[in-house]
A = this chain, B = another copy of it.
Amino acid sequence: MDHRPIGVFDSGLGGLTAVRRLACVLPNENIIYFGDTGRVPYGTRSRDTIIQYSTQDVNFLRTFDLKAIVIACGTVSAIALDTLTHPQSLPIFGVVEPTARRAAQTPRNGRIGIIATQATIRTGAYEQVIRRCRPEAKLFAKPCPLFVPLVENGRTQPGDIVIETVAAEYLEELKAQGVDTLILGCTHYPLLTDVIRNYMGPEVTLLDSGAEVADHLADYLRHHDLAAPADQTGCYRWYVSDSTESFHDLASIFLGREVTEPVEQIAIQNY
């Protein structure tokens, strides 16, 4: 049993879709969330810049006495997990490994699609894990650079010709290739579940990378006797690097509930 909180970070607020699942599967855990809203997005930036920014994100979270850190960002998970992980230090979980393993284990025909930011797709990180677990899998990866700004502008509803046109362009080849399992490799994408499901068809299994890392963390805490006491109600502390002004409204969209806890701005470039 371990009372210490879990640290979670993302380039912005997309990672709150992972926190949403954490709140479901680990309702007793305290969570400290940092969103780098002053430098979002990461998915269009270079490897070195993503490593620099995410190192500062982790340095900030390490100022708390945590039991684990979750990288609720597909881009950072794909690019910087190894750099951020120090032996004999607290465990850090990215979204790639648990999501790719789940995809490999899905009892379907092994035609797996991966959609994510440009930076994530460039790394081939999902493919490496899947091939290790299921060498004969057929993999189809596609960067979807407009999905993040479209989600952030609220273009998530079926029937919106803008998101439907863009989604059809990005997903056309994956559908033509008969993909039956599709990894949503960016924590913004779960807000597009309806649009993506409508296009791909109901028989395609969609894997939400934020939810997968939350489930994986829950297993880990149970196996290592690190879960919070069952009578503890999880508390949440929010931190961002830009103004806190519009945080509550935006965060509610990703978190799927009203956000009432206070939020604090920090100077991430100093970490």
Contact = CB atoms under 8 A, between A and B. Distances in A.
A253 interface: no
B38 A45 contact: yes
B146 A153 contact: yes
Interface in A17-62: 37-39, 44-49
Contact of A165 (B48, B153, B161): B161
- The quantity of this chain's copies bound in the complex is 2
A245 interface: yes
A230 interface: no
Given A153-B146, A165-B161, A166-B162, A49 B45 contact: no
Interface residues of A, number: 24
A242 B153 contact: no
A243 B49 contact: yes
A48 to B, nearest CB: 6
11 contacts: A38-B39, A38-B49, A39-B39, A46-B242, A46-B243, A145-B153, A149-B149, A161-B161, A162-B165, A165-B165, A269-B269
Interface of A: 37-39, 44-49, 145-146, 149-150, 152-153, 155, 161-162, 165-166, 242-243, 245, 269
